[in-house]
Amino acid sequence: MSSSCAHLLAAADREPTPSSEDGCEDCLAAGLHVWAHLRMCTQCGHVGCCDSSPKRHATAHFHQTAHPVIRSFEPGESWTWCYVDEQLGRVH
């Protein structure tokens, strides 16, 4: 896991409030329950579905907002991902 990514370093101490505790907020808004895994934006707390999900809302959120870092929103997982630098990090 790299610590050379400035985006991951900047996101390390962020604790945003999740936009949804019930699942992918975009899928839920559309009446869908099709996500595989959830990811949360470390900048604004947007909860979206992963790239293994049909709608890929977490990545779509990155493309819409340029918020660079997500973290897993799955129980027991403690990793982050920077879309810009394509680097994996760890939640501290």
In angstroms, the CA 20 to CA 9 distance is: 25
Of the candidates 61, 54, 55, the residue with the CA atom closest to the CA atom of residue 40 = 61
- Which residues does 19 contact at the CB level (< 8 Å), separation at least 6? 25, 40, 44, 45, 46, 47
- What average pLDDT does the structure give for the chain? 94
How high is the pLDDT of residue 2?
A: 46
| Burial label, 85 (beta-carbon count in 10 A; 0-12, 13-18, 19+) | middle
Question: How do residues 28-72 score in pLDDT, each as one tens digit?
Answer: 999 999 999 999 999 999 999 999 999 999 999 999 999 999 999
Domain boundary assignment for the chain? 6-90
pLDDT band of residue 91 (cuts 50, 70, 90) is confident
Looking at domain 6-90, which CATH architecture does it have? 2-Layer Sandwich (3.30)
